[in-house]
Structure 1
Amino acid sequence: MSKSKTAKLYRMVMENHTCPYGIKSKWLLERRGYQVDDHYLTTREETDAFKEKYGVKTTPQAWIGDERIGGYTDLAAHFGNPVEKEGTSYQPVAALFGMMALMALGAAWVATGQPLSILTAEWFVSFSMCGLAYLKLRDVESFSTMFLNYDLLAKRWVPYGYIYPFAEGLAGVLMTAHILNVISIPVALFIGTIGAVSVFKAVYLDKRELKCACVGGDSNVPLGLVSLTENLFMIGMAIWMIVKPALL
């Protein structure tokens, strides 16, 4: 680390494009207490000439003293905070379920004055169904393609892969509103049961390593507990809505 705490940064700042990693690099250096000698690369020609001169393939590029550190990921690693590469991750699922739980708590508080109640649990499940359906509906084509890897009904009848996210969303909305149980309960039971059996067979019987389509067709979430939980939630919610009138 330079004693003078100065760094030099070359980054693209053009009329119609400012490199986001250049901004991140500058922020990271300043956060570490460096005075940044900030050099703009304002044209494509200037950027290409810079890359050729220093034998690099990307910008931004940062120097600390006379040592070239590299781009943003190299800079982060230099400071002991390596940027994780894309791979299998449960982060999208954790974020979704966390937000759905907070939404359920907030909605129940407004509706009943009590954040924790049976309604909170019901809304957590139905909100989660809606959220998961939304993630699938962002790109139904990609979802349906990934879904075909393991869903038993979709393999036999391809249109089911396109219908599934709409069915899940419909059931979630109806269960949130507590209306038309004659539709929401059979739908949730049907897709939840087929989904649970399909996941169990693919993961625990066939021992296949697949990506889960539960959060959309572009996910890196491994197939297994998450998708199984999604389907068991739907089954459990449907059963609960059947027995609820007799219990309450």
Structure 2
Amino acid sequence: MLRKLDNKNMGRSDLGWLQSIFHFSFANYYNRNNMNFGVLRVINDDLVKANTGFEMHPHRDMEIISYVVDGELNHGDTIGNKNTITRGHVQYMSAGTGISHTEHNYGDTTARFLQIWLLPNEKGLTPNYGDYRFKWEDRKNKWLQIVSSVKGDVPIKINQDANIYVLELDKDRKIDFKVGEGRQSYLVQIEGSSEINNIVLNDKDALEIVEEDIIIKSKSTSHILIIEMKKTKKMEE
């Protein structure tokens, strides 16, 4: 089963310094029929103006991944971590019993990043942080796995049966992705446009995939992210 989500129909927020697209209910955007997709609770596509950002704020019992599309993202938290990541790099935070952090753009240009939240497989875990600077060429016309469960062997591991892959596919190239029985995936067309099993996705659109293999045909250079996970039901209100 495939279901396209047009970015024009997603939630939106404009705070001046921050412009966001909400794939799921978040902040001032509420839709009881769009709370989550399996264990995937949040994808926010954020634009943060230069020399602005999120001040210190708390989280708990959530696996949080930030994937930078453009610009730079600076992280600081209450367990002593400080770091800056740029295009194609990934930051991970397991909020567990509680952690507070800041996220700023100290660069000269607007930063764009995807903020992804997944529900953990258990509550009350010890807070943890990590980041990794993946080489851009490692996702060129092939899938690069950037996140796995703790049983996986990639640099960033989360407390959930979920995997995240990224890809930059040149125009007119094809690639497949398998979503087997008992699994589902959420695909984000970060940049460019593509045709997936006869469904056209443009910049910032998304696609829900349940137990169905897909073939991606790139209509223009396509930057794509997929979150693959165990098939589960949507939350109730």
Normalising by structure 2, what TM-score?
A: 0.23
Query: With CA pairs under 8 Å and 6+ residues apart, which has the higher RCO, 1 or 2?
Result: 2
Between structure 1 and structure 2, the one with the greater Rg is 1
Name the structure where strand makes up a greater proportion of residues: 2
Normalising by structure 1, what TM-score?
A: 0.23
